Amino acid sequence: MRRHTVTNAYVIVGGGVAGVSAAEALRGAGFDGRVVLIGEEQEYPYQRPPLSKEFLRGEVAPDFTSLRSPAFYETNAIELHLGDRVTRIEPHACRVECASGVRFAYDKLLVATGGMPRVLRVPGSNLAGIHYLRTLAQSIALRSELQRHPHVLVVGGGFIGCEVAASARQLGCDVTIAGPTLPMAHALGVEVGTIYADYHRDHGVRVKTGVTVTEFHGAGSLEEALLSDGSTIECTIAVVGVGIEPSVGMLVDVDTHDGLVTDEFCRTSIDNVFAAGDIARSWRPRLGRHVRLEHFDNAQLQGAAAARSMCDEMTPYDPIPFFWSDQYDWDLQYYGSAQEWDDVLFRGHPSQGSFMAFYRKDGRIESACAVNRSRDTTTVKRLLGRADVPASKLTDDDVPLTTLLTAQVHGA
């Protein structure tokens, strides 16, 4: 194994999955210098997906969310500096400064700070009962409130919002989703968004689309929300999920555009500064464009890829994009990254509790989502990019997907 040594340190800013994966990969690549991981939260690094699902529902304890045990960091000589926020990164001085005044010099730096929820700035937005969900502490606070079975308004129909709505409904809460589009339509399109809207309605959730929240009302605490169409929603809890803003405010002299721009090796425009996870808008040769992905799988893989690049093992980071979402008893898995498509072809039917959707552009399969079809995911990944698969066979559930992998599939 090659060994890498530096005089100062490789510093990782961000205590999420990208940062932890990078720290682990640095040691795996043979780096034996100082590794410092700086996290803003006081807790040991944890994973976020359970915060809107099983943890929020009280089905698992906080240690279920931990990314690694405390012993892992000691065994691998990874220095944790927790409960402190990096306020300034000075790339040309090779130094980061924390809110506490502590400074760290670095030889190479990885920025994996992710993002913070966009704040809904409308009258009444400071009322008690309005929640955002990004951190373990926020999930704990929301979980405590949901145990009282309040009237819950979910503002925004993204993945986090839909998962929170499902969890709240499973806990017996009265739930409304209100947003400008159908659930998850920004990623899954109108067709699948319509299916998920009906799915939530079937579970007793009210879904109101084409609206935004313009005001919150209440005498000290939330009582109702006024929507852009003039209607009101009675609610004692509101969970706002209208996206995140990449945390780039501590950076100077670095190329930023909807995140921290990198090449396929996770390198930013400044020497020896790398980026990974939700903050990184990285070049993907497979897609031929820069993309910024806010998903656990990407953060985990990209953190490790950035670490290898920091150790001069220059392999392009270019996996097939992937994310998942669990709502009620539907497990959605999505592969690819379609910006636009001509049609969506369905295989199976939602009424059967198992279906697939293929997104095509000029006859080429750009992406696919599978609901309760985990057995087919390996085949789905191999079908991406294919333009020779007849629609009639792609939509025929009696035709095994594996038979469509052979070149030049024949049929109408």
Look-up of token digits 């969890």: 167
pLDDT band at 249 (very low <50, low <70, confident <90, very high): confident
pLDDT tens digits for range 51-100: 999 999 999 998 999 999 999 999 999 999 999 999 999 888 899 999 99
71: left (phi over 0), alpha (psi -120 to 50) or beta: alpha
Residues 6+ apart with CB under 8 A from 42: 82, 83
Q: What is the mean pLDDT of the chain?
A: 93
- For 395, residues 6+ apart whose C-beta sits below 8 A from its C-beta are 345, 346, 347
Sign of the torsion angle spanned by Cα atoms 273, 278, 281, 282: positive
Mean pLDDT over residues 235-252, rounded?
Answer: 88
Identical fold for domains 119-240 and 329-404, yes or no, is no
For the chain, the structural domain boundaries read 10-116+245-310, 119-240, 329-404
Beta-carbon-side half-sphere exposure of residue 41 (alpha carbons within 13 Å):
17
d(CA 260, CA 280): 5
pLDDT at 252: 65
Query: Structure tokens of 393?
Result: 């066979």
The whole-angstrom separation of Cα 151 and Cα 255 is: 44
Q: What is the pLDDT of residue 1?
A: 38
Residues of 76-105 as b/e, b for ≥16 C-beta within 10 angstroms? eebbbbeebebeebebeebbbbbeeeeebe
Q: Which residues of 260-284 are buried (b: 16+ CB within 10 A; e: fewer)?
A: bbbbbbbbbebeebbbbbbbbbbbb
Ramachandran class of 156: left when φ > 0, alpha when ψ lies in -120 to 50, beta otherwise: left
pLDDT over 80 at 3, yes or no: no
Q: Please, which residues have CB within 8 angstroms of residue 186's CB and are 6 or more apart in sequence? A: 158
CATH number of 10-116+245-310: 3.50.50.60
**Fold exhibited by the domain 329-404:** Enolase-like; domain 1 (3.30.390)
Amino acid at position 114, single letter: G
Q: Is a pLDDT exceeding 50 seen at residue 5?
A: no
- pLDDT for residue 250: 79
CA distances from 73 to 105, 125, 132 (A): 20, 40, 30
Q: Higher pLDDT residue, 90 or 309?
A: 309
Helix or strand or coil: residue 57? coil
pLDDT band, residue 8 (cuts 50/70/90)? low
- Higher-pLDDT residue of 248 and 201 is 201
Residue 403 main-chain phi, psi, to 5 deg: -75, -15
Burial degree of 340 (CB within 10 A; 0-12, 13-18, 19+): exposed
* Site of tokens 């333009």: 387
Tell me how far apart the alpha carbons of residues 247 and 231 are, in angstroms, rounded to a whole number: 35
Residue 196 has, within 13 A of its CA and on its CB side, a CA count of 34
Q: What is the pLDDT of residue 217?
A: 97
Return d(Cα 125, Cα 225) in angstroms, integer. 10
Rounded CA-CA distance 165/174 in Å is 9
Q: Is the pLDDT of residue 2 over 60?
A: no
As a whole number, mean pLDDT of residues 172-184 equals 97
Fill in the amino acid letter for 362.
D
Query: pTM for this one?
Result: 0.92
CATH match of 119-240 with 3.50.50.60: yes
pLDDT of res. 261: 93
Confidence check: pLDDT of 289 > 90 = yes
pLDDT digits (tens, 9 = 90+) for 373-406: 999 989 999 999 999 999 999 999 999 999 999 8
Express each pLDDT in 314-342 by its tens digit.
Answer: 999 999 999 999 999 999 999 999 989 99
